[in-house]
Structures are given as structure tokens and as C-alpha cells.
Amino acid sequence: MNLVIQSLTPIAAEHHKPLLALSRGATLSAIDPCAVRIESAAIGQRPDLDVYCGTHELDYAFVEPARRLTDFGLVAMDMDSTLITIECIDEIADFCGLKAEVAAITEAAMRGEIKDFNESLTRRVALLKGLDASALEKVYEQRLQLSPGAETMLAGAKAAGMKTLLVSGGFTFFTEKLQARLGLDFTRANTLEIVDGKLTGRVLGEIVNADVKARTLREACDKLGIEPTRAIALGDGSNDLKMMAAAGLSVAFRAKPVVREAASVAFNHVGLDGLLRLF
């Protein structure tokens, strides 16, 4: 297997020899100043690599040597804390003084401690009842930021001929704006009910939970005429696990432990553009 090691900052030459030894690889070459590739690395060396890379804030991934980005036809992304840096519902709740309460439920749900995502979302949205809908625009304009490397990753995926899917347990208000801003091909999210300019505390229609996320990925693949094995899925929370399991390559992005353990690749330090260096 090829072993790709990445960092947010240039990888010092002093790391080359210990990384080559730890991985039991054949050769090491630079991809760019912040990434190296080791050929014929031993996948059984994960425990040692976990320790070394964790200590030095490096991300590593084992990649099949013949695999190319052009082998894939779709990149599917979670929104909150993946494509963007915030949890939108937590920031919305801040406008009615309930951020801490809502964020605690969000965190527990993403760690997998609350098994019923529908219930957790319904509880959180109910707390927003009566909030002026203008808070959504304020969150988008004042607080929403793309995750590091997001635009570079999307540009690289599109250049490789891939289509893009944003599938979120968050809200259509934000996914639609991001679709227009970033030129995304497909989106799916929850719709907040708004009456007379106020949030009612309810979600309209089917809640986008883990099962719906996985189904949406498969449906997008069907539209494109490709197998789900030709999809890449990126996420951070437990409600992304089924979508990630359905894809041919899964990337845990600054994710909860349960997600890191299940994913093909975990990025704990680098940006989303780390995906492009794998191939």
C-alpha cells in the first residue's frame, strides 16, 4: 500500500527516516512541502503510526497504489463541522440564549450517545420556537465559514469530473445558499417551518437522519449511473456513518472518535484539500 502523510505545515526532513522505518516502506518521496508518499508501506503498522503521527500532528492514510481521484464520480459531504466550521443549529440557538443547551444535545448526538437522531433534532428545533427567521441570515452572514481547504477540494473534485452532493441533518436555508455559492450539484437537508416570519419549532417533511443520508448518496449515484463504490463520503458525526459505509472511500474530517475508527481515512489536522493529495 502507499502511505500518504500530511501536515498543515511543511514536513521537516527529520521526520522522513523515522516514518520510513515505522511504516516499513520501500521509498519516500515528497508530494509537496506538506505531504510525502511512502511506497510499499505495511498496513499492520497503524498502531505505531498512530502514536508518531499523533505526537507530531501529522495525518496519514493508506491508499491503494493504482487508485486515482478520477476513479470516483461523486463526492458527498456533510455540512455542519465538515464543509463548514460551525453547527448551524447551535448558532441559531445563540440568538435566543439557548446555545449551551442546544449544543450539548448536538454534541451528544454526534458522538452517538443519543441513538435517535430524529428525537434529538426535534428536541433542538422545538427550542427555537418563536425565534425571528432573520436569525438564519445572521448566522449565514456573520458566523458561517467554510472549513479550511473546502474550495480547493471542490475545485479538484470538479476538475476530476466528479459531481458534488451536500447532504445534511441541518437546514435547507444554508444548503441552498452553499449550493449557489459553491456550484454544488445536489443537496438534501431539513426544512424549518416558518410562519409569519417566525420559526414554529417544527421541521417539515422527512428528517434527514443517517438512513436518509445513505439513501441520498445511493440515489445520487443512481442518477449518475455509477455504483456507490465510486463515491467518496466525508463526515464528522455518528449520523454520517451509514453514508460513509455506503461509499467506496470514507473520510472522517476532524471527527468524533466513533467516526474516525470507522472511516477509511481520518483528517485530524489538515484541511479538506487533503483529499486531493491521496491520489
**What's the pLDDT at 112?**
79
Three cell numbers written together for 61 = 492514510
**What's the pLDDT at 109?**
81
48 is catalytic: no
**What's the pLDDT at 65?**
96
222 is catalytic: no
76 neighbors 175 (Cβ within 8 angstroms): no
Grid-cell match 441520498, residue found: 216
Tell if the pTM clears 0.85, that is, is over it. Answer: yes
Q: Which of 59, 71, 80, 116 is catalytic?
A: 80
Q: What is the chain's pLDDT, residue by residue, as a tens digit (279 residues)?
A: 999 999 999 999 999 999 999 999 999 999 999 999 999 999 999 999 999 999 999 999 999 999 999 999 999 999 999 999 999 999 999 998 999 999 898 888 888 787 789 999 999 999 999 999 999 999 999 999 999 999 999 999 999 999 999 999 999 999 999 999 999 999 999 999 999 999 999 999 999 999 999 999 999 999 999 999 999 999 999 999 999 999 999 999 999 999 999 999 999 999 999 999 999
DSSP string, 196-219: TTEEEEEEESS---HHHHHHHHHH
Q: Which of 59, 78, 236, 240 is catalytic?
A: 78
Domains, the chain: 1-66 (3.30.70.330), 74-221 (3.40.50.1000)
221 closest CA partner among 192, 247, 252: 247
**What's the pLDDT at 106?**
86
3-state helix, strand and coil shares in percent for the chain, rounded to the nearest 5: 45, 25, 30
d(CA 106, CA 100): 10
